[in-house]
Chain A
Amino acid sequence: MVDKELLVKTAKKIVSREDVKYVVGYKQGTYGFVISPSFAYTPEDVDNFIYNPLCKKNLTVYPILEEKLPLRREEEEDKRKIGIVVKGCDSRALVQIIQEKGLTREDLVIIGIPCKGVIDLKKIEKRFPNQTEAVNVVETDNAEYILNISGAVQHIPKEELLSEVCKSCEYPNPTIYDFLIGEKIEVGEVPEYSGLKNLDETPLEDRWAYWEKHFQNCIRCYACREACPLCYCKTCMADMLEPQWIRRSVNLSENTAWNIMRAFHLAGRCISCGECESVCPVNIPLMELNKKLEKDVKEMFKYNAGLDTKEKTLFGTFNPDDPEEFIM
């Protein structure tokens, strides 16, 4: 359980600093189980900050996607810092962005929250459909969520609502932070990602049948790209017209090319926050691709994304002894 008062107090202290522009945190959304990001420019704005197991959204997309307008003559660049509330996975995204020089450590004031796993919005909405009023969710110590839905208190086992990625989370504690809210969580043995197990055993043709079914549904809304904290290229290859890497038409061929491109671009960078999957309107299990690459990269190159800001990126470095059994 995260102490809300401590979170608000810390955020207030940060936002009232001279060198801080704003702090991004979570606030109650307008309906149901939805949580919105909250941008606090003044200490009063911080009062609506909350943190509960519904806060799945990865807030690290905001500082990196913030549009920087060209400066007018004699205008000075706004170099103030940005405060941000992060969970374990989000902080790894920040490390990865800093590694790639998208942001510098000095740009950020990080409020870290050790996270015990967050609720999958799709799962909870399936269980309680048509919920329009805001709901407060509390996590108890004995792996249960307490939901107060229109007067009726419900106890639900954590397993049923927890996101799939959180079940195999190795880094619940933030890897970088300035302020830590709550106590660090001890990590024990972590089970393998559930989606990987069943795919590893299926033969090649069945795997393609599985993905064909999903890619055929893809509507190429690029929500996976927008939600991903690490998809922040100024010009995405998917939007380029000259050369046109993938065509605009929505069909199996182009959808597959897009999904290969997206997954490959995240190889060695994905920090398994599961945002792409949770925003996908047609429920493509994108994390199965990301997790597979994460696992392979770990095996082949002993590389872990988002742990050390000084480390070089996976595809920017090499080792003469890299595996090459596929080379003839």
Chain B
Amino acid sequence: MTQEQIEEFEPNIIGFLCNWCSYAGADLAGTSRVQYPPNIKIIKVMCSGRVNPMFVINALQQGADGVLISGCHPGDCHYQSGNYLARRRMGVMRSLLEQMGIEPDRVKMTWVSAAEGRKFAQVIEEVTAEIKKLGPMKQFRREQKW
């Protein structure tokens, strides 16, 4: 992609944020008026461990160019171990995507606590910039034929 195309492309990013830390972090970013790119569409889940790998695949099929999963910091999970389990799953998911030739960086994961509004904005900026560089997801987008 040329530099111009990268700048013009507005990626669609789906964010799965956990109810207890990351969603509250996003809330804090909002209430403290921190600016961040509008490319992310947030879906609240109760825990990052709730995120089924098929959520990620379905998001990529239906129009997302990237997926961000965000949970509590290791050890801080509201359900003790949900984020550890999610980390394992997403690590394996990424290596599977890589083997299939789909850029593994489309699936991102991060830890954001309820107090880190600023970090949340920063994370979104980073993710958006990275997905912008990767360009639109074109491998297995679902075709709408009607």
Q: A residues bordering B, Cβ < 8 Å?
A: 199, 204-212, 215, 237, 245, 247, 251-254, 256-257, 260-261, 263-264, 267-268, 288-289, 292-293, 296-297, 300-301, 314-316, 318-320, 322-324, 326-328
Return B145 CB to nearest CB of chain A, in Å.
9
Residues of chain A with a CB closer than 8 A to B118's CB: none
> Contacts A205-B101, A261-B57; is A314 near B126 (CB within 8 Å)?
no
New A-B contacts (13) at CB < 8 Å, excluding given A300-B92, A319-B84, A328-B126: A204-B102, A257-B58, A257-B140, A260-B100, A292-B95, A293-B92, A296-B92, A316-B85, A318-B88, A326-B90, A326-B109, A327-B111, A328-B108
Please state if A204 and B91 are interface contacts (CB–CB under 8 Å).
no
Q: In whole angstroms, how far apart are the Cα atoms of A261 and B97 in the complex?
A: 11
Q: In whole angstroms, how far apart are the Cα atoms of A324 and B69 in the complex?
A: 13
Candidates B89, B102, B104, B140; contact of A315 at CB < 8 Å: B89
> Contacts A261-B57, A263-B96, A296-B92; is A318 near B101 (CB within 8 Å)?
no
Candidates B101, B109, B140, B141; contact of A204 at CB < 8 Å: B101
Residue of A nearest to B111 (CB): A327
B94 contacts chain A at the CB level, 8 A cutoff: yes
Return B114 CB to nearest CB of chain A, in Å.
18
B116 contacts chain A at the CB level, 8 A cutoff: no
> Contacts A208-B102, A328-B127; is A245 near B58 (CB within 8 Å)?
yes
B110 contacts chain A at the CB level, 8 A cutoff: yes
> Contacts A300-B91, A328-B110; is A206 near B101 (CB within 8 Å)?
yes
B87 contacts chain A at the CB level, 8 A cutoff: yes
Nearest 5 pairs of A and B residues by beta carbon? A208-B101, A207-B101, A318-B84, A256-B140, A296-B95
Return B132 CB to nearest CB of chain A, in Å.
15
Please state if B74 and A320 are interface contacts (CB–CB under 8 Å).
yes
Q: In whole angstroms, how far apart are the Cα atoms of A180 and B126 in the complex?
A: 58
> Contacts A256-B139, A264-B53, A289-B96; is A327 near B58 (CB within 8 Å)?
no
Please state if A301 and B88 are interface contacts (CB–CB under 8 Å).
yes
Return B126 CB to nearest CB of chain A, in Å.
6
Binary interface encoding of chain B residues 117-146 relative to chain A, with 1 for a CB under 8 A from any of its CBs, else 0: 000000100110000000000011111000
Residues of chain B with a CB closer than 8 A to A237's CB: 54
B75 contacts chain A at the CB level, 8 A cutoff: yes
Please state if B92 and A267 are interface contacts (CB–CB under 8 Å).
yes
Candidates B75, B92, B110; contact of A264 at CB < 8 Å: B92
9 A-B pairs with C-beta separation under 8 A: A204-B98, A204-B102, A257-B61, A260-B57, A267-B96, A318-B84, A320-B75, A320-B84, A328-B109
Q: In whole angstroms, how far apart are the Cα atoms of A328 and B111 in the complex?
A: 8
* Chain B interfacial residues counted at CB < 8 A: 40
B93 contacts chain A at the CB level, 8 A cutoff: yes
> Contacts A207-B99, A320-B75, A324-B87; is A212 near B94 (CB within 8 Å)?
no
> Contacts A260-B100, A289-B99, A326-B104; is A297 near B92 (CB within 8 Å)?
yes
Candidates A264, A315, A328; contact of B96 at CB < 8 Å: A264
> Contacts A315-B88, A320-B75; is A208 near B110 (CB within 8 Å)?
no
Return B50 CB to nearest CB of chain A, in Å.
14
Return B60 CB to nearest CB of chain A, in Å.
9
Return B138 CB to nearest CB of chain A, in Å.
9
B10 contacts chain A at the CB level, 8 A cutoff: no
Return A283 CB to nearest CB of chain B, in Å.
17
Q: In whole angstroms, how far apart are the Cα atoms of A210 and B92 in the complex?
A: 21
Please state if A327 and B54 are interface contacts (CB–CB under 8 Å).
no
Q: In whole angstroms, how far apart are the Cα atoms of A252 and B124 in the complex?
A: 31
Q: In whole angstroms, how far apart are the Cα atoms of A318 and B104 in the complex?
A: 22
